[in-house]
Amino acid sequence: MVKGYWVSVYPAVSAAEGLSAYDELAGPAVRAAGGRLLSRGDRVVAHETGITQRVVLIEFDSFEQAVAAYESEAYQKALTALPDGVQRDFRIIEGTG
């Protein structure tokens, strides 16, 4: 089965302390949906038009599972905790097999 991934890049975070409320809700929601955190860090080397802010990578056993996790009630509740000062580029992508 082809895996699914969440990729989140944060171009602007003006309220980093506010992310803790989101993290407290999102972490359990992602784990309950079968997600595995592969990377969450601020240590980034960017090339071309990339940015060096926070990047998060989460793996799921399938693309469908990744989509369902995002649409879950628990994760939708976590999204409401994202502070106003956070801009995020969020994608769900399918692995190559």
Q: What is the CATH number of the domain that holds 15?
A: 3.30.70.100
So what's the pLDDT on residue 35? 98
CB within 8 Å of 23: residues ≥ 6 apart: none
Global confidence as pTM: 0.89
Per-residue tokens: 85? 């000062």
Say how many domains are in the chain: 1
28 pLDDT more than 80: yes
Task: Express each pLDDT in 50-83 by its tens digit.
Answer: 888 889 999 999 999 999 999 999 999 999 998 8
- 18 is in which domain, residue-wise? 4-94
CA 82 vs CA 3, 30, 66, 91: distances in Å: 26, 15, 19, 16
- Cα separation, 21 vs 73, whole angstroms: 16
